[in-house]
Structure 1
């Protein structure tokens, strides 16, 4: 890990331990005489977005103070995040229980009701259209998924067009933006929300669709539990939220985020060298392959996904 001053966390009682599995950054556990802490080293080499440390930290502190189940935020800078360590069970990428999904919906409603200043007014750049070039580079460098990427180039271009042109009905809310199984724990069977660094303003339908779908399915799209999907929405309404109109906008944020994540990992693989921050190269290959196979499937199932909203 980079040399970072962590003296405010107390005197270490053991070495800092790498916790593997992060999709974008690197995580460590540090035990001191003041407790245990999760120290996240942010990827500074090829970050896909500008990280607004002050805004996110203020949002996290407000959410924690309001009783949102999450690790206590301790400190934040442009390259390092510190939270108090929370024990809990990992949430599998499989349909959640109805009670767990319902509580996630309630938590989202509480988060959206927070009154927190957000100063970032950045404008989103157009979605990249360089998929033909990426496929050519993948073939030239002998990537193991090059043929699959080449066969889906037109689909990836269509997905990029969809992401840029899909109408978002609003309202726009300040929210977590990344409630997925790998960003959740279960403590006594109840949710704990991790990894808030993607937080920001988002069309409500995109947040609800991404969250509900991620909790209602397994790794693919062959087993989507409609009752679990609806449980998230029922919890949101029970928590005081109002559902936005139905339509493809419910899934465009998830598709766009996965598209950007896939491209990010493809570029890492094409570079062919292990970077000293961010995901391991082997993990980037796995993420690239999963996106190349999974995104065309999800895009082709949009009518089926929209039927979940009826």
Structure 2
């Protein structure tokens, strides 16, 4: 990418560590500060819809959604204006923040943006026994946890494939979680739009509400945060769909696929030049092989949080 249009650099680009899928850099120039995201286009599970997402971001920014200004997009690089803010802790957000995120979602879902969805949904992976065998043979530290939960992972795959998901389907962000939010003067700023696309509304609301209402695990979930987000969504004109287990099918399916992708990276034992560092991939897998069975075992409790 030709970065000359961003101005004269004031110094070298700085790597910002911690990305779960891609790599982020900051560039300071005489025209301001910019966030440059290097997309992992090598071993992703699907292709990024860069042009469609960029058009979606432009519409959202023009509509006043609190987010970094989108500057440019190419097949493997996204550029936004840098936004300073505080990272959210791994803990429930405030009631006010949850309500505002709900209102932001309603605003996003009201946008009229052309989106030609030609993607084909991949089948839920079921090679967990083989992955557990490979993990044991290579001696990775989470092999025992994966082996102990193989049957649970197969049951999760069945749930994701067969669970009925209430409509409607909306064009949305698809990944509003604490790690994709900044707090600026106490108010949320929405980052990382590259996974945007069509999704059933319940899946988006369930994933967002649960992500903002809990800490690192599922032992402590704040029902008031779930309610506040949904109330904020309804107050801003959104229609909340009927309750059911389908609210959590998207979140658990996405976590399942992300865990498997990082398992394959760890088993290859190669420090790739794109995507998360190898150490972070191991951490993601450890969290997945422990957290996914916990979440799946609590689906009834999670459904009870819904209106």
TM-score, normalisation: structure 2: 0.99
Shift of 1:147: 0.7
Cα separation, 1, equivalents of 2:167 and 2:123? 19
Match status 1:23 vs 2:15: no
Which structure 2 segments of 5+ residues have no match?
none
Please give the residue correspondences for 1:277-288 in structure 2 after superposition, counting only pairs within 5 Å: 277-288=274-285
Cα separation, 1, equivalents of 2:133 and 2:263? 12
Q: Map Cα deviations across residues 68-107 of structure 1 (whole Å, 9 max, x no partner).
A: 0000000011100000000000011101100000000000
Question: What residue in structure 1 maps to residue 174 of structure 2?
Answer: 177
Match status 1:150 vs 2:181: no
Match status 1:110 vs 2:110: no
Contact persistence 1:101–1:235 (CA under 8 A): yes
Question: What residue in structure 1 maps to residue 230 of structure 2?
Answer: 233
Question: What residue in structure 2 maps to residue 139 of structure 1?
Answer: 136
Q: Map Cα deviations across residues 178-202 of structure 1 (whole Å, 9 max, x no partner).
A: 0000000000000000000000000
Question: What residue in structure 1 maps to residue 3 of structure 2?
Answer: 6
Q: Map Cα deviations across residues 195-246 of structure 1 (whole Å, 9 max, x no partner).
A: 0000000000000000000110000001100001110000000010000010
Cα separation, 2, equivalents of 1:105 and 1:73? 22
Q: Give the match's secondary structure for 1:132.
A: helix
Runs of 4+ in 1 over 2 A off after TM superposition: none
The correspondence for 2:192, drawn from 192, 195, 207, is 195
The correspondence for 1:275, drawn from 272, 276, 286, is 272
> CA RMSD of the aligned region, Å?
0.6
Which structure 1 segments of 5+ residues have no match?
none
Cα separation, 2, equivalents of 1:234 and 1:123? 33
Question: What residue in structure 1 maps to residue 291 of structure 2?
Answer: 294
Shift of 1:121: 2.1
Contact persistence 1:45–1:275 (CA under 8 A): no
Please give the residue correspondences for 1:26-175 in structure 2 after superposition, counting only pairs within 5 Å: 26-175=23-172
Name whichever of 143-152 and 44-53 sits farther off.
44-53
Q: Give the match's secondary structure for 1:309.
A: coil
Q: Map Cα deviations across residues 103-161 of structure 1 (whole Å, 9 max, x no partner).
A: 00000000000000001221201111100000000001001000110000000001011
Equivalenced residue count is 307
Q: Give the match's secondary structure for 1:179.
A: coil
Cα separation, 2, equivalents of 1:95 and 1:145? 28
Cα separation, 1, equivalents of 2:167 and 2:118? 17
Contact persistence 1:89–1:187 (CA under 8 A): yes
Contact persistence 1:226–1:308 (CA under 8 A): yes
TM-score, normalisation: structure 1: 0.98
Match status 1:222 vs 2:219: yes
Contact persistence 2:26–2:36 (CA under 8 A): yes
